[in-house]
């Protein structure tokens, strides 16, 4: 192997090891939320480079630097795998949009449960606002999304954290 290829391989291997350690920490967090995770570093790298129909702005670096995004993306990957899908570059755009949103909202629930566990009500409020303004959500999924978001709005109210104006459903 020439020197440049060897250096690239070593950097890639080191990068995957660093990602794997973050995944392991997230795995323990998710276990505390009664969720079992079976995702590799390579799965995460592949998934974060997949095409999306939403012009997703969250990149691998963002995910690795934000534990909430990391939890979210790992749960999404895990949910695809649980359904028998192989993680690849077109998994999102080649799948039915309602399935994409079902998986997204399962991940969102775990992300928000973790934020609540940490007492990060501002994060929950911001994510509810983001989701309620989603222009790509299919009409047939809106009732389910509303139920999920309202569950978290209710929790915010119970914690005396005013969720207004979170919801635009």
User: What's the pLDDT band for 10 if we cut at 50, 70, 90?
Assistant: very low
Ranked by mean pLDDT, which of 48-52, 56-60, 110-114, 127-131 comes out on top?
110-114
20 is a domain residue: yes
Residues making up the chain, counted from first to last: 169
Instruction: Please give the structure tokens belonging to residue 74.
Output: 């790992």
Tokens found for residue 86: 């192989």
Q: Looking at the domain assignment, is residue 118 inside a domain?
A: yes
Q: Is residue 36 part of a domain?
A: yes
Rg (CA), the chain: 17
Query: What is the domain extent for residue 55?
Result: 3-158
Question: Would residue 167 count as lying in a domain?
Answer: no
- The DSSP string of 32-71 is HTT------HHHHHHHHTS--SS-----HHHHHH-HHHHH
- Whether residue 140 is contained in a domain is answered as yes
**CA-CA distance, 108 to 3, in Å (whole number)?**
43
pLDDT over 60 (residue 168): no
- The 10s digit of each residue's pLDDT in 62-115 is 999 999 999 999 999 999 999 999 999 999 999 999 999 999 999 999 999 999
Per the structure, the count of domains in the chain is 1
Q: CA 148 to CA 7: how far, in whole Å?
A: 47
Task: Kindly state the percentage of the chain with pLDDT values over 90.
Answer: 72
Asked whether the predicted pLDDT for residue 6 surpasses 50, the reply is no
Is 166 inside any structural domain? no
Average pLDDT (115-144) is 93
DSSP H or E run through 115: helix 97-117
């Amino acid at each position: 192997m020439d020197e440049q290829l060897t250096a690239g391989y070593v950097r890639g291997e080191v990068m995957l090891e660093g990602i794997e350690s973050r995944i392991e920490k997230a795995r323990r967090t998710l276990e505390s939320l009664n969720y079992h995770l079976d995702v590799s570093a390579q799965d995460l790298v592949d998934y974060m480079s997949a095409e999306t129909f939403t012009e997703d702005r969250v990149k691998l670096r963002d995910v690795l630097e934000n534990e909430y995004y990391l939890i979210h993306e790992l749960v999404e990957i895990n949910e695809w795998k649980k359904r028998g899908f192989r993680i690849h570059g077109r998994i999102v755009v080649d799948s039915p949009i309602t399935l994409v949103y079902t998986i997204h909202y399962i991940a969102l629930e775990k992300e928000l449960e973790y934020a609540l566990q940490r007492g990060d009500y501002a994060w929950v409020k911001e994510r509810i606002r983001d989701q309620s303004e989603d222009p790509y959500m299919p009409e047939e999924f809106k009732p389910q999304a509303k139920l999920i978001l309202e569950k978290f709005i209710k929790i915010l109210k119970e914690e005396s954290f005013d969720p207004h104006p979170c919801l635009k459903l």
